[in-house]
Structure 1
């Protein structure tokens, strides 16, 4: 009997302790004395969900050249987290973004319009070609939700190259190449008389001699010898094959800038170059009233060592980064995924200038 009373007393005491604890906890919450508890709020759960992996499915590899996707590619190579890059079409139902490279579409690859498209899945149209070579885009009306191109106004911008700031320490001042043998050089394989660049070359060659390399003149330059060859020239003709908004290719970034020659550029308007390249690092054809005036300027500049060297001053602050790995371009989608418009549909890519 005594044992039973002791048990009842213990239970009663525990109930009182629990009630007291609950009262204290309620009082703390009402007075804001538990900041650690307040840190947990509904918006936090939104952040947790945004940290999930975004799956990017590349429907076909550009130009049929696959890269390895083993491991956590985006993190291992580019330190982009929560990004799963795949190329197995069987993963279509779970993909957040499906990327289609336009070159393969123009060559007969079909869009998977027969597959049930998961709700919220975005289809991305990707091209590094100028509009002249993108083919008939009208048939893709109201299909794509995202554009991935070199243009600065694309949803995902993938330039051929860009300039990144150098660290202030540990980088010696770069010397201007002194082994100059030719005034103007040009590497060209796909020569077409109707191209504007071909017409400008012909006019310029009348005023100043232009040393031409490439298949057109049956003097091909191996990749390993390209930059050393260009370094022997004062100026390099970084002429694009078409005049299109923001279409600035490796002709500027690699051939001229990395080759150590001052680029003479022709392509998009002067403002497009100024938006991505340092001032006084290039010469635009449009800055001159005539090609003859351009030729005279190049001659005078080459003779003035001080002024010529000023075109390389940017190299003390900037370094060239080239984009050549399609995996890096795909991973970039993840870093911008949460800021992309959720319900955009391109009614007509051609109308947007592609």
Structure 2
């Protein structure tokens, strides 16, 4: 009889222990699941949401998926162009060109969240900006090529190689002394006067709408590569304004840029001293032309302007999505209170 009771109690104890174990497992799964959901929610909430109010020049880009992470390795950065998400956006970016031409308008009638920052964006030279006073006390941040902007977005940059390597081959099919691709030709620009003087001594091949010789994207770099020098002349001489004329047209084609734009020190801030030739280094345009011709006749001296390629590669910025994604890594540096 006693043995039967002991067995009965042992069975009850086993069942109770099993029941308690199941309860503990369920409780742990519930808490873990709740923590997982909280973590997921926290992740979504901590992502920086950037609303692009309008695409520059009417050219739209695809924002499907996690663009910043998948394409550029930048996490917790969400790009949207859906204006119905205005109230949830941490940043709203406005491109100046469309605003100045009144093709789009600022959402000044929308209730603006206290945490939200408005970003003024332009890659045009500051002297070409119009009607900036109309936006006083509206924007919190600036986004421009200028290094003093809150968000600096250059046209290009040089990326140091892990170790020096001679992996660049100078194009050997060079048949023209110099070339220039230009569409916006205006006599009032200094670059036009320099060009007119330069061609008196140097053979300059001109392409673009000005010369009625437009080049397709596919033909641009191969055409320039046949020239010893490329006239990377900006249409305005403004501090730090260095465009694709240097980064793409000259550097990526494999020629030596002759630059006219900001002072030499601005170019040296972004490129090695012996990677370009500055117009202002010479007393006259004729002296410049004679120096260029002397380099053509002396390959050893000409090749000096390519030695920097052992240490750097050229990075070109052309995709607006990449520019916007690059806001997120510097987001934490922005001042809490700032207005222009």
The answer to whether the superposition gives a TM-score over 0.5 is: yes
Query: Quick one: which of 219, 224, 231 aligns to 1:230?
Result: 224
Question: What is the RMSD computed on CA atoms of the aligned residues?
Answer: 1.7
Compute the TM-score of the two structures, normalised by the length of structure 1.
0.81
1:284 counterpart residue number: 278
Equivalences for residues 11-160 of structure 1 within 5 A: 52-108=46-102, 109-160=104-155
What SS does structure 1 have at the residue aligned with 2:239? coil
Please tell me whether the aligned partners of residues 237 and 264 of structure 1 are also in contact (alpha carbons under 8 angstroms): yes
The Cα of 1:173 is off from its aligned counterpart by: 2.8
1:269 counterpart residue number: 263
**Count of residue correspondences:** 299
The Cα of 1:208 is off from its aligned counterpart by: 1.5
What SS does structure 2 have at the residue aligned with 1:207? coil
What SS does structure 2 have at the residue aligned with 1:100? strand
The Cα of 1:168 is off from its aligned counterpart by: 3.0
- Distance across 1 between alignment mates of 2:305 and 2:44: 45
Cα deviation, 1:171-210, whole Å, max 9, x if unaligned, reads 6532222211111111111111111110110111112221
- Distance across 1 between alignment mates of 2:208 and 2:96: 27
Please tell me whether the aligned partners of residues 92 and 116 of structure 2 are also in contact (alpha carbons under 8 angstroms): yes
The Cα of 1:51 is off from its aligned counterpart by: 8.3
The Cα of 1:218 is off from its aligned counterpart by: 1.3
Give the unaligned 5+ runs of structure 1.
1-47, 347-354
1:187 counterpart residue number: 181
- Distance across 1 between alignment mates of 2:254 and 2:45: 43
Query: Quick one: which of 157, 160, 166 aligns to 1:165?
Result: 160
- Distance across 1 between alignment mates of 2:77 and 2:43: 14
- Distance across 2 between alignment mates of 1:220 and 1:280: 30
- Distance across 1 between alignment mates of 2:257 and 2:158: 15
What SS does structure 1 have at the residue aligned with 2:254? coil
Structure 1 runs (4+) deviating above 6 angstroms are 48-51
The Cα of 1:134 is off from its aligned counterpart by: 2.2
Cα deviation, 1:127-170, whole Å, max 9, x if unaligned, reads 0111233211111111111011111111111111111122438x
1:36 counterpart residue number: none
Compute the TM-score of the two structures, normalised by the length of structure 2.
0.85
- Distance across 2 between alignment mates of 1:176 and 1:167: 21
1:325 counterpart residue number: 319
The Cα of 1:301 is off from its aligned counterpart by: 1.3
What SS does structure 2 have at the residue aligned with 1:263? strand
